[in-house]
């Protein structure tokens, strides 16, 4: 797809229209990095189209990625068939952003408010070093409203860039800046609550978290150490792995696909599957859908991040999906994680 270099973002539609009317000869319309369309319930979403048919979708509501497809148009993220696309409910699936609080680690609503606020497109973000091969991306921004300031009394700018790489890799880069003018620092916890689509949860294993310490949310956040081999799934799981490695692999034996998740600035990794009982209790989740999803969520939970006024934090997640022929031990997980 022809596109301008990443340093010159596409003009907003109104500016582009005005330019077309005034100038002679008429400028060639730029191919934007993205397209803005109406999604479910009339909510706006951004379409990112990469080479060879790779694509992604991001709702302005929650700045939530709800689709990431490979070059065979296969959906790689899970979104529930019962997901509700209506504020104030967060969309069930894709990549919700948990900020300024993960889970119940604080006094705010579960997972904070960023996932159920309307973000806007940021057409003039501060420069961010990018791979020049990336032609399809969008920048979104969230600033607190007066109502938000009542529940979390801190001024911030949260910029999110969602980018689709030339090989179909999806990356999310968050930049959070403390813009308090009263000299106060603030602290927050954070997660990219990524829902992966899997063939069958019983066919999946996660490599990279073995021997890690974790807090078990099903046991009052008590601390344990993971034993043995890779993680497999036979019942509900809700664990916060602490100081997890920067690469984690999710191996789907049946699909012969491995997701490789690379994280920066996010020490922890949450692993969640609600299993059958909790699935039934969630109104926006199908009874049997727990079999076809797994959340692995790069996060900063155990040690909140603190920013002084003027300071900025960056947290990045990169996802790739690679074919794997793992059936009975042929794949060396270390090669996936270190290769
Ligand atoms: O239902 P939600 O608020 O979206 O939360 C869904 C899940 O998110 C995380 O993975 C937490 O660790 C779980 O405890 C929680 O149940």
What would the mean pLDDT of 159-187 be, rounded to a whole number?
97
Going from the Cα of 274 to the center of ligand 1, the distance in angstroms, rounded, reads: 8
State pLDDT tens for residues 91-119: 999 999 999 999 999 999 999 999 999 99
Cα 317 to chain centroid, rounded:
7
Protein residue with least CA distance to atom 15, ligand 1: 103
Q: Which atom of ligand 1 is nearest to the CA of 217?
A: 14
Q: Which residues pair with 197 in a beta bridge?
A: 293
Angle at 70 between CA 163 and CA 94, to 5 degrees: 60
The protein residue whose alpha carbon is closest to atom 4 in ligand 1 is 92
| Residues identified as active-site | 193, 297
Residue 133 is predicted with a pLDDT of 86
Q: What is the pLDDT of residues 30-50, one digit of tens each?
A: 445 799 999 999 999 999 999
Atom of ligand 1 nearest to the CA of 92: 4
> Does the annotation list 21 as a binding residue?
no
* Partners of residue 46 on adjacent β-strands: 36, 58
* Whether 138 contacts 35, CB under 8 Å: no
Q: Kindly give the number of the ligand 1 atom that is closest to the alpha carbon of 103.
A: 11
Query: Rounded to an integer, what distance in angstroms lies between the CA atom of residue 156 and that of residue 320?
Result: 30
Can you tell me the mean pLDDT for 135-149? 96
Distances (CA, A) of 231 to 78, 271, 277, 337: 20, 10, 21, 15
**Closest ligand 1 atom to 238 CA:** 12
E strand spans, 198-256? 204-207, 213-216, 222-225, 231-232, 237-241, 247-252
Identify the band that residue 290 occupies on the pLDDT scale cut at 50, 70 and 90. very high
Average pLDDT, the chain: 89
State the pLDDT at residue 10: 41
Hey, what domains does the chain have and what are their CATH numbers?
A: 32-338 (2.70.98.10)
Mutate which of 238, 274, 294, 297 to test ligand 1's pocket (most atoms within 8 Å of Cβ)? 238
DSSP state string for 68-126: EE-TT--B-B-B-TT---STTSPPSBSB-EE-S--TTSSSSSTT-SGGGSB-EE-SSPP
Q: Whose CA is nearest to atom 13 of ligand 1?
A: 238
Whose alpha carbon is nearest atom 11 of ligand 1?
103
The string of pLDDT tens digits covering residues 150-172 is: 999 999 999 999 999 999 999 99
Q: Quote the Cα angle for 333-337-339, to 5°.
A: 100
Å from CA of 255 to ligand 1 middle? 26
Known binder of ligand: residue 92?
Answer: yes
Ligand 1 site-directed mutation target among 110, 115, 290, most atoms within 8 Å of CB = 110
Please tell me whether residue 280 adopts helix, strand or coil conformation.
Answer: helix
Q: What is the pTM (predicted TM-score) of this model?
A: 0.89
Residues having CB closer than 6 A to ligand 1 are: 90, 103, 110-111, 217, 238, 270, 272, 295
3-state helix vs strand vs coil in the chain, percent to 5: 15, 40, 45
Residue of the CA atom closest to atom 7 of ligand 1:
272
Is the confidence at residue 19, as pLDDT, over 60?
no
To the question of whether residue 115 is assigned a binding role by annotation, the answer is yes
């Amino acid at each position: 797809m022809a596109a301008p270099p990443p340093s010159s973002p596409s003009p907003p539609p109104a500016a582009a229209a005005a330019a077309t009317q005034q100038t002679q000869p008429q400028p060639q319309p730029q191919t934007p990095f993205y397209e803005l369309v109406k999604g479910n319930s009339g909510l706006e979403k951004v379409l990112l189209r990469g080479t060879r048919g790779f694509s992604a979708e991001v709702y302005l509501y929650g700045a939530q990625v709800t689709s990431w497809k490979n070059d065979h148009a296969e959906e790689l993220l899970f979104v529930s068939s019962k997901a509700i696309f209506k504020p104030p409910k967060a969309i069930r699936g894709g990549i919700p952003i948990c900020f300024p609080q993960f889970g119940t680690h604080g006094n705010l609503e579960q997972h904070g408010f960023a996932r159920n606020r309307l973000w806007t497109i940021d057409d003039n973000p501060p420069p961010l070093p990018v791979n020049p091969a990336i032609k399809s991306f969008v920048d979104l921004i969230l600033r607190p409203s007066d109502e938000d300031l009542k529940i979390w009394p801190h001024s911030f700018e949260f910029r999110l860039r969602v980018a689709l790489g030339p090989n179909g890799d999806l990356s999310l880069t968050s930049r959070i800046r403390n813009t308090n003018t009263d000299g106060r620092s603030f602290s927050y916890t954070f997660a990219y609550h990524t829902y992966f689509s899997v063939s069958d949860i019983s066919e999946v294993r996660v490599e990279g978290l073995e021997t890690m310490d974790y807090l078990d949310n099903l046991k009052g956040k008590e601390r344990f150490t993971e034993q043995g081999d890779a993680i497999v799934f036979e019942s509900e799981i809700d664990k916060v792995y602490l100081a997890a490695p920067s690469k984690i692999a999710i191996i789907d034996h049946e699909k012969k696909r491995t997701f490789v998740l690379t994280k920066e600035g996010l020490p922890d990794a949450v692993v969640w599957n609600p299993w059958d009982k909790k699935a039934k209790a969630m109104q926006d989740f199908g009874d049997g859908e727990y079999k076809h999803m797994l959340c692995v969520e790069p996060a900063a939970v155990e040690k909140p991040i603190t920013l002084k006024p003027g300071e900025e934090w960056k947290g990045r997640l990169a996802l790739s999906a690679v074919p794997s022929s793992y059936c009975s031990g042929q794949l060396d997980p270390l090669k996936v994680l270190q290769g």
